[in-house]
Amino acid sequence: MATGLLRAASAGPLVVFALAAAVVGVAALAVRPGPDARPPVQHGPRFFARVPRWLLVLGFVGALAYWLENAWQSWSAVHLERTLDASPAVAALGPAVFAGSMAVGRLLVHRHARPGAERAVLVGGASVAALGSALAAFAPSDLPALAALVLAGAGCSVCAPTLVSLAGRAAPEPERATLVGSLTTLMYLGFLVGPAAVGGLADATTLRVSLGGVAAVGALLAILAAVIRLPSRA
Q: Are 8 and 93 within 8 A, CB to CB?
A: no
Report the 3 state secondary structure along 156-195. Answer: HHCHHHHHHHHHHHHCCHHHHHHHHHHHHHHHHHHHHHHH
Closest by Cα among 183, 230, 191 to 56: 183
DSSP codes joined into one string, 66-113 = HHHHHHHHHHHHHIIIIIS---HHHHTHHHHHHHHHHHHHHHHHHHHP
Rounded to two decimals, what is the model's pTM? Answer: 0.83
Per-residue pLDDT of the chain (234 residues; tens, 9 = 90+): 888 888 888 899 999 999 999 999 999 999 988 777 666 555 554 544 567 888 999 999 999 999 999 999 999 999 999 999 999 889 999 999 999 999 999 888 877 667 778 899 999 999 999 999 999 999 999 999 999 999 999 999 999 999 998 888 888 888 888 889 899 999 999 999 999 999 999 999 999 999 999 999 999 999 999 999 888 765
What is the pLDDT, as a whole number, of residue 39? 61
Q: Determine the pLDDT at residue 42.
A: 53
Amino acid at 188: Y
How many Å apart are CA 96 and CA 86, to the nearest integer? 15
Find out if CATH 3.40.47.10 is the number for domain 52-227. no
Choose among 200, 225, 224, 226: nearest CA to 213.
200
Would you list the domain boundaries of the chain?
52-227
Contact 126, 222 (CB under 8 A): yes
